[in-house]
Amino acid sequence: MTTQTLSLPALTGVYRPPFVGAFAFAAVLGIVPLMHSMLTLIEHAIPPGYQTLTSLGVGAVAVAMVIFASLRGSEALGTWFGFIAGHLVWSGWIELAFAFNPDYVGMEPLHVDGEPVLTASLMFVQATSGLLFATLPFFVFNRDTRCNAFVWIQRRCGIDVSRSGAAANRNFARITFIEVLYVIWFCYAVSLFLIDPRFVGSHSPITYVAGFGFVAWAFYLLMRLARFTRVLAAVRYSIPTAGIFWISVEFGSEWGLYDEMWSKPTEYAMEMGLVLAAFVVALFLAVIMPKRRQQQPMPE
C-alpha cells in the first residue's frame, strides 16, 4: 500500500513544517516512557525464572528487525525498524542484563543519608561509561552517520565529509539502531554522574544549571526540527533531541516535581494508556507522510 493510498486529504496541512518534525519528535519521545513501562511489567508480571528468557527474546526480535531491514535496503524500513529495535535491545539485552548480576549477588542500591540514590543496576550502567567514551570516536569520525553533531566535529577536525557515501548506499537500519543505543547510553551516563552525590548530586547548583541547560538545548534542536520536511530525516534528528529532553524530564522527577508514572504502569494505567495512544497516533501520522513532501533543507 503506497503512502498516497494511506494519505488523508483532510490532513494535508499536517504534511508540512512544523508538523513533520512535531510528529516525528512525538513518536521518538513517546517510546521512551513506554519502554520503561515494559521493563516494569516484565520485572513484576513475569515469574523470575522466565524474565531472562523474555529479555533474550525481546532482544532477538529486535536484532531480527535490523537484519530484515538491512537486507531490504529501504530508508523508511531501516529508519523505523532501526529506531524501534534500538530501544528493544537496550531494554531487553542491556537494561535487564544490568539488573541480573546485582540481583544475583544481592547488591544493594547506593544510599546517602539513608535514602536510595541509585539502584544497583544503574551503578552497573554508570560503570560502563569508560567503554562508551572509548568506542564513541569510531562513530564520531564515521562519515556515513551524517549526524549533525558529528559532522560539525568532523569539519572542525578537517575531515572531508563530502566524500561520504550516497544515501542510497547507506544502511539506515544499522545507522539508526546504533544511534539509538549510543544516545540512550550517553544520556544515561551524563544524568547518572550528575545525580550521583559521589560526583555532583541531584540538588547541586551544577545539576540545576545543567537541567535547565538541557531544556534550552532541546528547545534549540526543536526549533531546527520544525524546519524539516523529510519525515525520515526528522525521525533520526529527533533521536538525540528526545534523548537530551528526557534528561531534564528525569531530573524533574528526581527533584520531586512529579511522580514517574512510566515506572508504575499499573498505578497509572489510564495515563500510560493515553501515552500509548498518543505514540501510536504520532507514529501513524509520521509513517504516512507522503514522500513527495520529503525534501529536507538542511544536512541530516
Please give the average per-residue pLDDT across 190-205, as a whole number. 92
Residues 300/237, Cβ–Cβ less than 8 Å: yes
Q: 24-55 pLDDT, tens per residue?
A: 999 999 999 999 999 999 888 888 778 889 98
Residue 52 lies in a domain: yes
Residue 295 lies in a domain: no
Residue 294 lies in a domain: no
C-alpha cell at 27: 513518536
Residue 156 lies in a domain: yes
Residue 166 pLDDT exceeds 50: yes
Residue 46 lies in a domain: yes
What is residue 291's predicted lDDT score, i.e. its pLDDT?
55
Q: Which of 162, 163, 174, 152 is nearest to 236 (CA)?
A: 174
Residue 1 pLDDT exceeds 70: no
Cα separation, 20 vs 7, in Å, equals 14
Strand partners, 110: 118
Cα separation, 106 vs 101, in Å, equals 8
By residue range, what is the domain housing residue 90?
A: 3-11+19-107+119-163+170-289
Q: 92-149 pLDDT, tens per residue?
A: 899 888 887 777 777 778 777 766 678 888 888 888 999 998 988 887 777 776 677 7
What is residue 275's predicted lDDT score, i.e. its pLDDT?
92
Residue 268 lies in a domain: yes
Domain count, the chain: 1
Cα separation, 77 vs 173, in Å, equals 7
Q: Which of 105, 119, 94 is nearest to 196 (CA)?
A: 119
Cα separation, 290 vs 292, in Å, equals 5
Burial class (CB in 10 A: 0-12, 13-18, 19+), 296: middle
What is residue 240's predicted lDDT score, i.e. its pLDDT?
93
Residue 114 lies in a domain: no
- pTM, to two decimals: 0.85
Helix (H) or strand (E) holding 168: none
